Amino acid sequence: MVFVGGSVAVSGLLADAPVMGMQALRYAVACLLLVLYARVTGRRLVRPRGAEWLWLGGVVLTGMFVFNLALVHGSRHAEPAVLGVAVACVPLLLAVGGPLLEGRTPAPRLIAAAAVVTLGAVLVQGLGRADGIGLAWAFVTFLCEAGFTLLAVPLLGRHGPLGVSVHSTWMAAVLFGVFAAASQTPRLHADDLLAGAYLSVAVTAMAFVLWYSCVSALGSARAGLLTGIAPIAAAATGVALGGPMPSPLVWAGIGLVAAGLAVGMGGGSQKSAIRRSRNRAIVSVSAIRE
């Protein structure tokens, strides 16, 4: 989430770059890095089968393809804060939808924590202006950001965080590449390549594996709380790049995010439920293999 928050300033350098071509290059490079990492560490990548292709397609289509388009088109009708607030609301959806996909009942404690984190993230991000089209794109951004996590949950058991990241990145590279070849002529400058390198290595190759590892270990509901760190990282990056110090309202938002994380990450009963759910999944996979 720190990488994601820091990418806000970096993405601004790509305003004039060809979107489809840049994204295709980003995901292709990230996939190659992940495959190389798998080879070096001896990790085995398995081929998707059956319905797994549909889940992966959902991750790529919503969380990567449509999400990036929504950010580009939404920014033409809404200020960045509006899109940021839409993403900040994701913890609430993950707190409810995540446990249902994992075969558990949503925990009121995590829902309350998600509400606090969301409020804090909104204060950090701030509110902005938007027209009707901008609000529609913001809602699409919200759904796509949630889809990136929720649609990957059924895949983590068999493929693991690395496998999901590898398959989603090569599929995204192909999808963006097809549209880039049909609609754009690549015109990339040195600044574009440097920004794209950061997005490929930190925001994609590293962040994807870290994020899905977090979802696998903590459950999507708890992991969703950590999205509140992204706007804080964005604010910190702005200060590091010479921007003004945060206002008292932003500091209040940071405090709320911290409080929500403290509430959501505590509680032994929820941890036990996650462990029981993971054990049931392992038993089910073992039964299938036998």
Task: Give pLDDT, residue 288.
Answer: 34
CA atoms within 13 A on the CB side of 242: 0
Cβ partners under 8 Å of residue 217, min gap 6: none
User: What is the C-alpha separation between 58 and 70, in angstroms, rounded?
Assistant: 16
- pTM for the structure as a whole: 0.81
Task: Give pLDDT, residue 232.
Answer: 85
CB atoms within 10 A of CB 267: 15
Contact 170, 48 (CB under 8 A): no
The pair of three-digit structure tokens given for residue 174, joined into one six-digit string = 């192909």
Burial of 251 (0-12, 13-18, 19+ CB in 10 A): middle
- What is the identity of the amino acid at 16? D
Q: How far apart are the first and last CA of the chain?
A: 38
Report helix, strand or coil for 180: helix
Contact 96, 150 (CB under 8 A): no
- What is the identity of the amino acid at 210? L
Cβ partners under 8 Å of residue 277, min gap 6: 102, 103, 104, 219
User: What is the C-alpha separation between 284 and 280, in angstroms, rounded?
Assistant: 6
The pair of three-digit structure tokens given for residue 81, joined into one six-digit string = 């804060």
Per-residue pLDDT of the chain (290 residues; tens, 9 = 90+): 888 877 766 665 665 667 788 889 899 999 999 999 999 999 999 999 999 999 999 999 999 999 888 877 787 787 777 777 788 888 989 999 888 887 888 899 999 999 999 999 888 877 777 788 888 988 998 899 899 999 999 999 999 999 999 999 999 999 999 988 887 565 667 777 787 888 899 889 999 999 999 999 998 999 999 988 888 887 787 777 677 787 888 889 899 999 999 999 886 544 444 444 454 443 333 333 33
Look-up of token digits 């409810």? 96
User: What is the C-alpha separation between 86 and 135, in angstroms, rounded?
Assistant: 9
Report helix, strand or coil for 112: helix
Phi, psi of 78 (to 5 degrees): -145, 150
